[in-house]
Amino acid sequence: MVIVKLPLLSGPRRSLAHQFIQLPSLSLPPNYLVFLQMNMEEVTYHSETTLSLPSALLERRVRQRQSKVSVLKSKLKRGITCSGQRVRSTLTGFFPVVKWLPKYKLKEYAWGDVMSGVIVGIILVPQAIAYCLLAGVEPIYGLYTSFYANIIYFLMGTSRHVSVGIFSLMSLMVGQVVDREVFLAGFDLNEDSGPDVFNGSRDTNFTAGKLHTVELMGLQCGKECYAISIAVALTLLAGIYQVTMAVFRLGFVSVYLSAPMLDGFATGASFTILTVQAKYLLGLKIPRHQGYGTVLITWINIFANIHKTNLCDLITSAICISILVTGKEIQERYKDRLKIPLPTELVVVAGATLASHFGNLNGVYGSSVSGHIPTGFIPPQVPRFCLMSRVALDAIPLAVISFAFTVSLSEMFAKKNGYTVRPNQEMLAIGCCNIIPSFFHCFTTSAALAKTMVKDSTGCQTQVSSLISALVVLLVLLFFAPFFYALQKCVLACIIIVSLRGALRKFKDVPAKWRASQNDAIVWLVTMFATALISVELGLLIGVVFSMICIIFQTQNPKVSLLGRANDSDLYEDMEEYKNLMPPPQIQVFRFQAPLYFANKDYFLKSLYKAVGVEPFLELTQRRKAEKKAKEMSLKQAKANGDKNNGEVVIGLVKRDLEFHTMILDCSAISFIDSTGTATFKGLLKEYKDIGVSVLFATCNTSVIDTLKKGQFFGKNDKDMSSLLFPTVHTAVLYANRASAALDKSDDCGVEN
């Protein structure tokens, strides 16, 4: 802050010892004048105050930018150099575990990591099996996905608390693509295929009757095989997109996914998930609708087939939902007393599996069950490249949403626990969590909020907890997977639906969102309805586009105001918002609170004309009409009197005095302008000059100043900068008063002469 001491003349005008004007310490261009010293020249200001012109300069720093070629050469040189230190930094950059694991504090961290890892693993197993219903693949692949994703993120992630694995939204998006491609390949979506192991010797469904197969890379592939082939191709492409974005540092893409838009998208997708799973609650065998309007058409099909409801599945669903909801409510109500979360899902799965097995619910009542889940691992296989062209576009929203949720959760919990994460490394880590597992028959993964919150609340300290969770899943894969054969699909659907409670509860927050920000509430509602009623992919696109349109609309219709002065200070503010402000005499100070560019320049001009009450073109038109009318009247009078020269003096008689002689544009809220904005400023100068009004500019930032200079707004060699541009509104007001007084003085001298 620069404090400038301005000595005033003593006398009858004003008796003050000192007056101070505080100016911000700005980096301004050459010839940018500020009031650093008062000259002794006297100028009458309301016959009381003595003012003068500034005489000192505040210079901009000269920044020498390197040429693009030299910058590129230096980057290439750094990129190709190899040294021990660079190898170590690259290794720790790609694999952060190398850096933090040797510093692991066993006594402090081990208990929390083990506890959170075991608890999350117990929760993960039933969810991994359940979310395969959404993804349209067999349960074993959900367990594979959870196992590999946890290990890879343990090696590459920078967050200590994020739990990466199966996420309901990702599973839904994968399932929609899988069902579409399976349907287009000619498979019956109602068909319950038998075991179809994904390898070279058992790629065909050899069950009773002749089943439809397709040929992939020389092998016959049944429905299950084709479904997982589509899922892994989609996952590989999503991972490649994410790694490519990380390499080219395109993580900024996620900034276009606003929080209200993501919340609306998640809520709309949750309603879609609820709709898709509703048929399992009733035991109805209806195919998933392909195309737009899934929610509406699915509910129509459900009500059309409601008479086919399987009572066994309905009763089981009611019991399971009651137990799960009760467990969740107890957990939320007594979360401060309970040291660990209640394993409600595991209890329900174990109890339902035992009841289904010993009651033979599948054989007696026709209840649909999970079927055989093999133990061990299927040999890895390269994803079918011939399928990638079919799902290349579908992988883009998967990649963006997966990355956006992972980074947002990472940053949220890092801030909560006092450490930092690297967003670009997070994108690389989640990309590798998709690329590498795709060779092991896994589908798309992301960070999951519910499991991450469980990890945080159960004492998780590092990603060792993810390794423990992977070991729990491994035990199920090696020993316990076959025991889930009799688990009913309606139980899995209950687990999925109850897990959506948090997202569906956001409907209650709509009134609060509306009170806080109508714009955000509208974005939330539009995205939610588009996602639920049209499709998940289009809902995301519509949400992004609509939120951008809202931002553009806000810049096209910003707030404008006339400023007034607070008492005798140098503070100027909005006269509509603050009391006891007085406008400077015969000066209008106008503020435009948005960037000025091609899309809002018309609104800028209209609002300016309306605020100051004078539109130059109309004023000139009125003056010309008055001049013409006065000339005609004068000529008539001259003819009547025989005087031929009286009409020549009419021009001075019709000139109308305006209420202000200067207009000051406060540019403090204009963050940037384009060439159209520069042309608009030039037009203002010329138009108002024609009607005798000066236009000055105050508090422009350096970006705006540079744009104006490039557009030669200040004339050749910026010769007019000192008389047009001012660091504060008050300095512009002082200059305007002095210039007006000097002009009046010269006019008086001309009249006397």
User: Which CATH number do you get for residue 48?
Assistant: 3.30.750.24
Last residue of a domain, one of 551, 573, 603: 551
Query: How far apart, in whole angstroms, are the C-alpha atoms of residue 255 and residue 260?
Result: 12
Average pLDDT score, the chain = 83
Question: What contacts 748, CB < 8 A, 6 or more positions away?
Answer: none
Query: How far apart, in whole angstroms, are the C-alpha atoms of residue 680 and residue 663?
Result: 15
pLDDT for res 28 = 41
- Looking at the fold, whether 54 and 120 belong to one and the same domain comes out as no
Residue 292 has pLDDT above 90, yes or no: no
- Looking at the fold, whether 427 and 390 belong to one and the same domain comes out as yes
- Looking at the fold, whether 498 and 357 belong to one and the same domain comes out as yes
Number of H helices, E strands in the chain: 29, 17
pLDDT for res 747 = 63
The residue behind tokens 């910026």 is 718
Query: How far apart, in whole angstroms, are the C-alpha atoms of residue 319 and residue 330?
Result: 17
H-assigned helices in 563-674: 601-612, 616-641, 651-654
Domain assignment of residue 79, yes or no: no
Average pLDDT over residues 672-698: 93
Share of the chain above pLDDT 70, in %: 85
3-state secondary structure of 274: helix
Residues 699 and 729: beta-carbon distance below 8 Å: yes
Question: Does this model's pTM top 0.85?
Answer: no
Domain assignment of residue 378, yes or no: yes
Residue 508 domain boundaries: 99-189+229-551
What is Dmax (Cα atoms) for the chain? Answer: 126
Domain assignment of residue 75, yes or no: no
Residue 741 has pLDDT above 60, yes or no: yes
Query: How far apart, in whole angstroms, are the C-alpha atoms of residue 591 and residue 669?
Result: 7
- Looking at the fold, whether 315 and 361 belong to one and the same domain comes out as yes
Domain assignment of residue 196, yes or no: no
CA distances from 595 to 589, 669, 686 (A): 18, 7, 22
Query: How far apart, in whole angstroms, are the C-alpha atoms of residue 434 and residue 236?
Result: 6
- Looking at the fold, whether 471 and 487 belong to one and the same domain comes out as yes
H-assigned helices in 436-575: 449-457, 464-475, 489-498, 501-504, 510-516, 518-533, 536-556
Greatest mean pLDDT among 25-39, 69-83, 95-109 lies in 95-109
Domain assignment of residue 217, yes or no: no
- Looking at the fold, whether 500 and 591 belong to one and the same domain comes out as no
Which of 290-294, 571-575, 591-595 has the least mean pLDDT? 290-294
The Cβ of residue 576 has, within 10 Å, a number of other Cβ atoms equal to: 11
Query: How far apart, in whole angstroms, are the C-alpha atoms of residue 417 and residue 419?
Result: 6
Could you say which DSSP state residue 193 is in? -
The Cβ of residue 661 has, within 10 Å, a number of other Cβ atoms equal to: 19
pLDDT tens for 171-209 read 999 999 999 999 888 887 764 544 443 443 334 343 344
State how many domains the chain has.
Answer: 3
Which of 151-165, 171-185, 617-631, 656-670 has the least mean pLDDT? 617-631
Query: How far apart, in whole angstroms, are the C-alpha atoms of residue 725 and residue 550?
Result: 33
Last residue of a domain, one of 551, 578, 594: 551
Query: How far apart, in whole angstroms, are the C-alpha atoms of residue 158 and residue 493?
Result: 33
Residue 227 has pLDDT above 60, yes or no: yes
pLDDT tens for 325-338 read 999 888 888 877 87
Higher pLDDT, 47 or 101: 101
pLDDT for res 93 = 84
Last residue of a domain, one of 654, 680, 704: 654
Could you say which DSSP state residue 210 is in? -
- Looking at the fold, whether 436 and 540 belong to one and the same domain comes out as yes
Residue 52 has pLDDT above 70, yes or no: no
Residue 79 has pLDDT above 80, yes or no: no
Residue 12 has pLDDT above 50, yes or no: no
